[in-house]
Amino acid sequence: MTWDWKTTLWFVCYLPVVVGLTLFGLHRFYIVWLFWKHYRRPPRPAARFAELPFVTVQLPVFNEMHVVRRLVESVAGLDYPRHLLQIQILDDSTDETVAICQEEEAKLRAEGFDVTHIHRTNREGFKAGAMENGLRTASGEYVFILDADFIPPPGVLKEMIHYFTDPRIGLVQSRWGHLNRDYSLLTKVQAMFLDGHLVVEQVARSRAGRFFNFNGTAGIWRKSAIVDAGGWEHDTLTEDLDLSYRAQMKGWKFVFLCDLITPAELPVDVNGFKTQQHRWTKGSIQTCKKMLGPVWRSRQPLAIKLEATVHLGINFMNLLLLCQCVVAWPGMGQQFSLGGHRFLLLDLPVFILSTVSVALFYLSSQMAAYPRHWLRHMLYYPMLIAVLVGMAVNNGRAVLEALFNKESPFVRTPKFGIEGKKKAPAAQKNYKSLKSIALGSEVALAVYFTVALISAFLKNYWSSVPFLLLFMAGFWYVVWGSLPQLFPGSRKEDDSGPVAA
């Protein structure tokens, strides 16, 4: 084969994608192996408290008028002695949420609860600042944190608290459930996406003794562990991941309870999902920059350092995915055959170590979490991959913003109080998601892969068709879901996304 400049350029662009996806794919296989190795060995509390301890429940909220009442009522229904509960409504709101919180505070106080509505007007430090501010007056040694869109089951606190009989335990985390999984195609995809992290990754890391992270909500912290680790800091957008690493570096142990579920509401529109993913992605890279050096300078075992490196840097995959998008069309067919060895040297390793490993990862999560319905859930796997590809521009931009220190505020994900399949009332459209400037690039890539797919059909490059079809579908889905930010009247007011049959 003659190596002209086009072949060389394509190979130079594609090689980092191959190497990166191969390494991340190997890690997926490793995580799946750890998961199944430890899955049937759930943690047990060292003992049980003879007398239940005092607990502070922190409810950080910001403009959550559709869900905050539901949250406070569910906390009031916890199966835990009232005289051992302190409830802090940490309210940074600027709308009707403030009045609702005041009403709920008065109701609970009349029922005999120790409840305080702490309203800030400066939002300094955002959620992390609100929780740090509340910690100053927290009476409990244990702090149960719940975001506004969660509904804790009555027995969840009593189930979790006994793990703290081990004085080394700094955090106990329950698994998120999904209140509105069946609302739409988007929520079904999100549920599977989160299950991969919440079921497979968290179980594998926690039970194998690796570092894992507090998920920001539905978990109980030992107050002294927060203080010992330096408290809540707000120099990243993922204060939960940041504190988790600092606490574990101090020697605190974490417990993840996969079978104890605290359900929450999934974003029901694409822009809400993009807002959430942008914040999580950017924050994780910010934490990677902040904590990776200290991790490697520590005396932690090499296995923990290596796993922490992949854990903190996993979102760099979004940049690799963008590179793969660019080189996909030029690499079709036989024009870059590499002397007939391209399939063995490049395409087959990428397929096995990325496509197969990811499929096995999500298959494991569905089989473990839904043993009776996993096959039905896996039918949505192709769309999951398509949506993740379609989110590459949004998430890749977040990675670059973190790398180049572009400041951005903590932007909340809109929640509408949706459970099951019920529609969001038109009145609940008060909250808007973060407007994304990435939409133009997403449109361009959607058109790019449409033309590439047509070209593959015309030139009989049938092996490229499935991948090009997924890429095209992913970008067009994200574009379609993002249109309301440009044309608010282009979709029905009560339509929050394409609803699955």
Rg (CA), the chain: 23
- Reported as type and span, the H/E element at residue 142 is strand 142-145
CA neighbor of 31 nearest in space, from 204, 211, 209: 204
- Which residues does the annotation mark as catalytic? 92, 240
The pLDDT > 70 percentage for the chain reads 86
Tell me the C-alpha distance between 331 and 473, whole Å. Answer: 19
Question: In the structure, what pLDDT confidence band is assigned to residue 273 with cuts at 50, 70 and 90?
Answer: very high
Q: Does residue 403 lie in a domain region?
A: no
Within-domain flag for 391: no
Window from 107-111, 258-262, 366-370, 488-492 with minimum mean pLDDT? 488-492
- pLDDT per residue over 311-360, tens digit each? 999 999 999 888 877 776 666 554 445 555 555 555 566 666 778 899 99
| pTM for the whole structure | 0.90
Nearest of 495, 490, 484, 344 to residue 418 by alpha carbon: 495
φ, ψ of residue 151 in degrees (nearest 5): -130, 95
Q: What is the three-class DSSP state of 373? A: coil
pLDDT exceeds cutoff 50 at 500:
no
CB 266 within 8 A of CB 276: no
Using CA atoms, how far apart are residues 135 and 252, in angstroms rounded to an integer? 19
Cβ(217)–Cβ(146) under 8 Å? yes
**Token pair for 462:** 């049938």
Residue 427 pLDDT class (50, 70, 90 cuts):
very low
Q: What is the pLDDT of residue 10?
A: 67
Cα–Cα dist 327/402, whole Å: 25
In a domain, 375, yes or no: no
pLDDT one-digit tens code per residue, 56-92: 999 999 999 999 999 999 999 999 999 999 999 999 9
Of residues 481 and 59, the one with the higher pLDDT is 59
Angle between helices 185-195 and 270-297 (to 10 degrees): 10
Evaluate whether residue 414 is within a structural domain: no
Measuring CA to CA, which residue among 378, 373, 26 is closest to residue 192? 378
CA–CA dist 6, 11 (Å, integer): 9
What is the extent of the structural domain holding 265?
38-269
Domain at 68, CATH number:
3.90.550.10
Query: Which tokens sit at 458?
Result: 């015309």
Least confident of 40-44, 234-238, 345-349, 370-374: 345-349
Which residues contact residue 296 at a Cβ distance below 8 angstroms, ignoring those fewer than 6 apart? 305, 309
AA letter at 13: C
Residue 70 lies in a domain: yes
* Assigned domain for 264 exists: yes
**Number of domains the chain is built from:** 1
Residue 386 in contact with residue 470, Cβ under 8 Å? yes
Mean pLDDT rounded to a whole number for the chain? 88
Q: b/e per residue, 441-479, with b = 16+ CB within 10 A?
A: bbbebbebbeebbeebeeeebeebeebbebbbbbbbbbb
Q: Which of 446, 466, 471, 444 is nearest to 456 (CA)?
A: 466
Question: Which residue carries 């007007």 as its tokens?
Answer: 121
- pLDDT tens for 136-160 read 999 999 999 999 999 999 999 999 9
Question: What amino acid is encoded at 500 in this protein?
Answer: A
- In the block, tokens 């109980």 appear at 220
Q: pLDDT tens digit string along 183-220?
A: 999 999 999 999 999 999 999 999 999 999 999 999 99
Is 363 domain-assigned? no
Please give the residue that has the higher pLDDT: either 248 or 414. 248
What percent of the chain has a predicted confidence (pLDDT) above 90?
Answer: 72
pLDDT of residue 494: 38
Structure tokens at 439: 């939409």
Using CA atoms, how far apart are residues 240 and 221, in angstroms rounded to an integer?
A: 11
- Name residue, tokens 């009776």: 372
For residues 248 and 246, what is the distance between their CA atoms, to the nearest angstrom? 6
Residue 11 lies in a domain: no
Most confident of 122-131, 331-340, 409-418: 122-131
From residue 36, how far is each of 187, 203, 305, 359, 443 by CA, in Å? Answer: 26, 9, 22, 15, 40
Strands 169-178 and 219-222: antiparallel
pLDDT at 439: 86
Name the β-bridge partners of 484. none
- Between the alpha carbon of residue 392 and those of residues 279, 290, 322, 399, 407, the distances in Å are 14, 23, 6, 10, 20
